[in-house]
Amino acid sequence: MEFIKLLATHETLNTMSASDKFMAGLMVAVIGMAITFLALIFLMLMIKVLSNLVGTKPKAAAQPAAKAAPVPVKAQEDDLELVAVITAALAASLGKPANQIVVKNIVRVPDTKPTWARLGLTEQINQQL
């Protein structure tokens, strides 16, 4: 506590030894970290209390998966065309003949990007064309 009193006036700070200044600085750092840690604990407790007061909404029950509809003949033709296009693109990209590439499975990946991200990507592609 005496270091804090010494730091109160500028004149005593000039007369302190280097080890006293180091100890005073260390004390100030420890006090600052303790105050920060206590404030974070207080915020954590307040968030927990508020989340218990507000509560969370119950999650909706998962809807059963829809049964797969029979694939019409036209969809199979479209799939064959899609396989041909993907095979040609892979052949061009890899620099191999198309008869050396076998496409075994095509899985459509759902687009989870937000609308603004899709719009930005489309704009960038259009600017390069």
State whether 43 and 6 are in the same domain: yes
Shared domain for 49 and 76, answered yes or no, is no
Same domain for 49 and 87, yes or no, is: no
Decide if 65 is inside a domain: no
Q: How does pLDDT run across 74-103, given as a tens digit for each residue?
A: 556 677 888 888 888 888 888 888 888 887
Q: Which domain holds residue 84?
A: 72-107
Does residue 71 carry a pLDDT above 60? Answer: no
Q: Is residue 127 part of a domain?
A: no
Is 0.85 surpassed by the pTM of this model?
no
Tokens of 17: 């030894």
pLDDT digits (tens, 9 = 90+) for 31-65: 999 999 999 999 999 999 998 888 766 555 555 55
Amino acid at residue number 88: A
Specify whether 13 is located in the same domain as 47.
Answer: yes
CB-based contacts of 91, cutoff 8 Å, min separation 6: 97, 98, 100, 101
The better pLDDT of the pair 106, 117 is held by: 117
Instruction: Name the domain count of the chain.
Output: 2
Model pLDDT, residue 59:
59
The answer as to whether 92 is a domain residue is yes
Burial 19-31 (b: 16+ CB within 10 A, else e): ebeeebeeeeeee
Q: How many CB atoms lie within 10 A of CB 17?
A: 8
Whether 103 contacts 86, CB under 8 Å = yes
Q: Residues 6 or more apart from 24 whose CB is under 8 A from it?
A: 3, 4, 6, 7, 16
Q: Domain check: are 24 and 50 in the same one?
A: yes
Residue 20 neighbours by CB under 8 Å, 6+ apart: 3, 6
On whether residue 67 sits in a domain, the answer given is no
